[in-house]
A = this chain, B = another copy of it.
Amino acid sequence: MSMEEREGSPVVGILGGMGPSAGLDLASKLISETSAARDQEHVPFVLFSRPTRIEDRTAFLLGNATVNPGIEIARQIVAMEETGVTVAGMACNTAHAPPIFDDVIRRLTTNRTALKPLHLIQETTEFIQRHWPSVRRVGILGTPGTLRFRIYDEPLAAMGLEPVQPERAFIDGPLRDAVYHPRWGIKARAHPVSSRARQALVESIEHLLALGAEAVVLGCTELPLAVPEDAFDDRPLIDPARVLARALIRDSYPERLKPWRAGETPSP
């Protein structure tokens, strides 16, 4: 049975641009998590990658920028809804920090916009609880912004899970360098990543496991580029972008959602 895009039928929206590759990464996972035999069976989506007016999220959180990026994010979600989008997600961990995400929701509510973005962090913590019910201590890797603002802590705690953060020496050392180092960080060299970036992340994962983490969230879009495997020492590694992609399909065309299997990362 073909899945017609009629008036009022579901359309997925991806708010990208933070950075542009993160939006593409989420779109690519939306495609790879869809069960489709031909073009016409794929989930229809609209990707906005309009970063020029979205203030840097970490800069705002650290007080180095005064304009809340949520203002422009909310404006773009309103524009997305006008194209027919019925369910949306934001391809950025840091944009889910409460000072930004709550501002977005407040603006959309005031504007009477029905479209509200799914919550990447919320979806990820629910995913962990559903698929690994015995896991209690969850390690978090991410940018210094995500970790200092402890974006995952409250959603995890609300489910009775315990967040495990790297020590400060890792946050501002190998973990930061793995993403941001100007010569060998993933933002500078992504295809392929440098062996130093990979090594720095492996050390950070080992550090979290030594602290008692039973699973590790790769809480920054860049990280799965260097750590593509789905487990490390038999502990699951969780890619929030893949979780969000699956949540977007679940809320639009659930019959098209591929069965999820640990140990399998479908290629795009």
A-side interface residues toward B, CB under 8 Å?
2-5, 11, 17-21, 24, 27-28, 31, 38-42, 44-54, 56, 79, 82-84, 190-191, 267-268
14 sampled A-B residue pairs with Cβ under 8 A: A2-B52, A5-B52, A5-B53, A20-B31, A21-B268, A38-B56, A40-B52, A40-B53, A42-B51, A44-B51, A45-B50, A82-B82, A82-B83, A190-B267
A41 to B28, CA, bound (A): 23
A62 to B49, CA, bound (A): 36
Known: A5-B53, A191-B268. A42 touches B20 (CB 8 A): yes
Inside 8 A of A18's CB, which chain B residues have their CB?
A: 39
Known: A2-B52, A49-B46. A17 touches B39 (CB 8 A): yes
Inside 8 A of A24's CB, which chain B residues have their CB?
A: 24, 27-28, 31, 268
Q: Is the CB of A42 within 8 A of B28?
A: no
Inside 8 A of A17's CB, which chain B residues have their CB?
A: 39, 42, 44
Q: Which 10 residue pairs spanning A and B have beta carbons closest together?
A: A191-B267, A5-B52, A44-B50, A47-B47, A19-B39, A39-B51, A20-B42, A20-B31, A45-B49, A5-B53
Inside 8 A of A53's CB, which chain B residues have their CB?
A: 4-5, 40
A54 to B4, CA, bound (A): 10
Q: Looking at the complex, which one of B20, B21, B27, B50 makes contact with A11 (CB distance below 8 Å)?
A: B50
Most buried by B among A3, A5, A20, A191: A20
Q: Is the CB of B44 within 8 A of A52?
A: yes
Inside 8 A of A45's CB, which chain B residues have their CB?
A: 49-50
Inside 8 A of A190's CB, which chain B residues have their CB?
A: 267-268
Q: Is the CB of B44 within 8 A of A49?
A: yes
Inside 8 A of A27's CB, which chain B residues have their CB?
A: 24, 27, 47, 49
Q: Is the CB of B40 within 8 A of A46?
A: no
A219 to B46, CA, bound (A): 25
Q: Is the CB of A40 within 8 A of B47?
A: no
Q: Is the CB of B20 within 8 A of A40?
A: no
Inside 8 A of A82's CB, which chain B residues have their CB?
A: 82-83
